Amino acid sequence: MNTPFRCGYVALVGRPNVGKSTLLNRILGQKISITSRRPQTTRHRLLGIKTHGNAQLIYVDTPGIHDYSGRAMNRHMNRTASSVLVDVDVVVFMLDGFKWTRDDELVLSKLEAVDCPVILAINKIDLLANRDELLPKLQALSDKRAFEQVVPISAVKGDNIQALEDAIEKLLPEAPAMFPEDQITDRPVRFLAAELVREKLFRKLGRELPYGLTVEIESFKTEANVTHIHALIWVERKSQKNIVIGKQGRVLKEVGTEARKDIEALIDARVNLKLWVKLKEGWADDERALHSLGYTHDE
């Protein structure tokens, strides 16, 4: 008896900084989604495609859903995350450990309109000091909704990830693959390169500044086996420019070196990366500026 092939879309949703991108990278065994300790690192919808055996799982990584909508960027992220829920086959609702916040409640309320199965994935269980507390906490969270399954995981350590994948796969419809077997994302390399630069900036800079910057690839071309990339780092205020560059260009140089190494690993080729910092006042609260920088509503 032949095992039927299953294929479908799986939305990874949750409030900011619960580990959605870390989980996606762990599942794929390759880094395509950037991560940092800063909330709202993910700003775009991104597909991660895993094909194996008799299944193709198309994961949709989304920005964290949050209660603040005071700026155009925040509204964009919430719209992007919410729109994904309309047409997927399975939703994985991720929590950070056993914390429950107002933003988690907001995500749960958005799931009320979802008709497909919802799996609750409780991340960071490796940080739970007393494992005896696990069962009652799982029960308390299970009471919030009739979840298809509740799976405690550690995206960083890899604990129980296979169990989560197995649970998802069983819920996918019988259907042929939608993408080639060797494709792992729908995003072009230049998008991933910009994201890797932004990741290094998020990790290098202070708490507030990252939310006032974005990265745009100005040129991307390969000559004599070297890929030459020119990237623009846009900031909102003049005072931010010097911070991003750093004393004697130190910050910018470190960001460039770290990003170049990751891009070389991604494309398996030598990279010459040039970074420039430019000012576009108030871009993160300007719908037209957001659109020009690639933050579109139909991604």
> For position 256, what pLDDT does the model report?
96
Please answer whether residues 40 and 16 qualify as being in contact, where contact means their C-beta atoms are separated by less than 8 angstroms: yes
The answer to whether residues 111 and 147 touch, using CB atoms and an 8 Å cutoff, is no
Residue 122's pLDDT is 92
The residue that leads in pLDDT, 166 or 83, is: 166
Within the chain, which residue ranges are assigned CATH 3.30.300.20? 189-292
Structural class in CATH, domain 189-292:
alpha beta
Tokens (6 digits) for 222? 């390969």
Structure tokens given for 152: 């405690």
Give the pLDDT confidence score for residue 17 in this predicted structure.
84
Could you tell me which residue, 61 or 24, shows the higher pLDDT?
24
Which range of 17-21, 39-43, 137-141 scores highest in mean pLDDT? It is: 17-21
- pLDDT tens track for 153-187: 999 999 999 999 999 999 999 999 999 999 999 88
Residues above pLDDT 70, as percent of the chain: 83
Q: What CA dihedral angle connects 178, 182, 186 and 188, to 10 degrees?
A: -150
**Alpha-carbon distances of 235 from 23, 60, 86, 191, rounded to whole Å:** 29, 28, 33, 18
Predicted confidence band at 293 (pLDDT cuts at 50, 70, 90)? low
Amino acid (1-letter code) at residue 184: I
Burial class (CB in 10 A: 0-12, 13-18, 19+), 113: exposed
Name the architecture of domain 6-171: 3-Layer(aba) Sandwich (3.40)
Higher per-residue pLDDT: 206 or 93: 93
